[in-house]
A and B are shown apart, each in its own frame.
Chain A
């Protein structure tokens, strides 16, 4: 379990995340939703130690993140950010091999290679493993990065808007993969999402942020209703039930 306790982050004088306490339940997909500037990405960055919190603490399996060794942490928690600009030319396989770095420190053994093959296979990238990243489409690139995170083999996987710039087909593909990671491999996934319908259909729990504070935190069914959404987004959003999916019709509200 990841426990976030009274986390606060200031940019200048403005608190972008203020006194946030959340428990992330293991073996579930938890979505962070909320309007722009609510502090979702900042919160995720602090949980994954990409950003230092001003006050508060993050506990992973009851251990303080700040007291963990960087390398040990990277065997438990992985994070994938929105933009992955790189200065080097890498093939898919080379990128995925980097996922083993916390274990191998650059020297791959047979076990590492087996896991890399598995990750490539899982993301259906085996056939194109020697293609260079810059030759790939957005969806393929995103899949390659997720394969790297899978090879990293952490219990917790954090993703910051992984659906950005992806079309419907690839978005659904990525979300299904994440669902499988949770259901088949027992991973815990935390994901920042903009489209509340993806959150509604695929996540087990939802944490809603607004102005740096948690306004809602609970199982998906408790959050996806017109009253809660009104509180989060200040919009009247009708909910329609369509074959087991609760769809928020926000387009003309």
Chain B
């Protein structure tokens, strides 16, 4: 099967599930249900594309296929922010209740954190990218520990509010936020797409990439910043989805068997739309909300991750 055929099939599935989600059981409620469903679908498409895109490019610059950008500590920073907010200000404070304020605060905190981290690391001479990852893991663990510490001390009712934030959910995404997220995501992807061919060369390794005239450091920095922005926006929009990028990126590598990032990214994005919208449809209409999508994602993702680990350890 040719890659373009595969892409059309994937696209068809994505569209099918989107329309299924939008129109199934609508009963003519075009004014009320349709816009609400539309916002949800848009949120899922945005998150799916942002996560797929950022994971694929992140894995290319780290030369590693079992990492996701969340290793840099974005998820834990997000949870820390929410926990600290609820702990010190209370769950009725404006920074928690007002979704716009919360969104802006979370996104800017995560982006500032990423920029500081990169600035600090790239300023002090040339360091291998694994150094950056290690610092990310340590900082992430540090954030996670503080969150856990606060969560132990917190009032049990308040803890429930924290717990809400710990799992991704598409059920109460606010309408305006989706448009803001859309703008940020589209802009960063347009900027990123201009150096999409450089990423193909980057997957040949640093030395070969430099030999072929790619400004390695510049492209790596740009890619790190773009993937951080995308992850920050999608996390602030729906919450942390740890394994999701890992699944779709790897499925895309296996399915398309190419080095071309233009194909890999579009493929991974279609897969995530298909999986998120399809999954949410199953959760809502089949399980009638008795579970949440992120639980299913983490379950399936965890199994797939173990499979990947076993496969990689066999191949080396």
Contact = CB atoms under 8 A, between A and B. Distances in A.
Contacts of A71: 213
B211 interface: yes
Most buried by B among A72, A74, A152: A74
A98 B197 contact: no
Nearest to B212: A101
B213 A73 contact: yes
Interface stretch (A56-64, A84-92, A109-117, A172-180): A84-92
A81 B212 CA distance: 13
Q: Is the interface of B mostly helix, strand, loop or mixed?
A: loop
B251 interface: no
Nearest to B262: A106
A8 interface: no
A134 to B, nearest CB: 10
Interface residues of A, number: 30
B212 A98 contact: yes
A75 B200 CA distance: 19
Interface in B181-208: 197, 200-201, 203-208
A75 B259 contact: no
B94 interface: no
B203 A87 contact: yes
Contacts of A105: 197
Contact of B203 (A78, A88, A102): A88
A50 B207 contact: yes
A52 interface: yes
Given A87-B65, A88-B259, A106-B197, A70 B215 contact: yes
Contacts of B211: 48, 50, 74, 78-80, 152
B6 interface: no
A94 B212 contact: no
Contacts of B213: 70-75, 101-102
Interface in B69-123: none
Interface string A99-138: 1011001110000000000000000000000000000000
Nearest to A90: B259
Contacts of B206: 50
Contacts of A141: none
Contact of B257 (A73, A85, A89): A89
A75 B126 CA distance: 25
A87 B207 contact: no
B221 to A, nearest CB: 14
B134 interface: no
B65 A70 contact: no
A111 B219 CA distance: 27
B204 A70 contact: no
A71 B201 CA distance: 13
A102 B259 contact: no
A110 B93 CA distance: 64
Contact of A70 (B64, B203, B214): B214
A85 B214 CA distance: 18
Contacts of B12: none
Interface in B293-312: none
A49 B210 contact: yes
B204 A98 contact: yes
B63 interface: yes
Contacts of B259: 88-90, 94
Nearest to B196: A106
B151 to A, nearest CB: 38
B240 to A, nearest CB: 26
B210 A70 contact: yes
Closest 7 A-B residue pairs measured CB to CB?
A74-B213, A106-B197, A71-B213, A102-B213, A88-B259, A101-B212, A70-B215
11 contacts: A50-B207, A52-B126, A79-B207, A81-B208, A84-B205, A84-B207, A86-B205, A101-B213, A105-B197, A106-B200, A107-B197
Given A70-B214, A70-B215, A88-B259, 16 more contacts: A48-B210, A48-B211, A50-B207, A50-B210, A79-B207, A79-B211, A81-B208, A87-B64, A90-B259, A98-B200, A98-B204, A99-B212, A101-B212, A101-B213, A107-B197, A152-B211
Interface of A: 48-50, 52, 70-75, 78-81, 84-90, 94, 98-99, 101-102, 105-107, 152
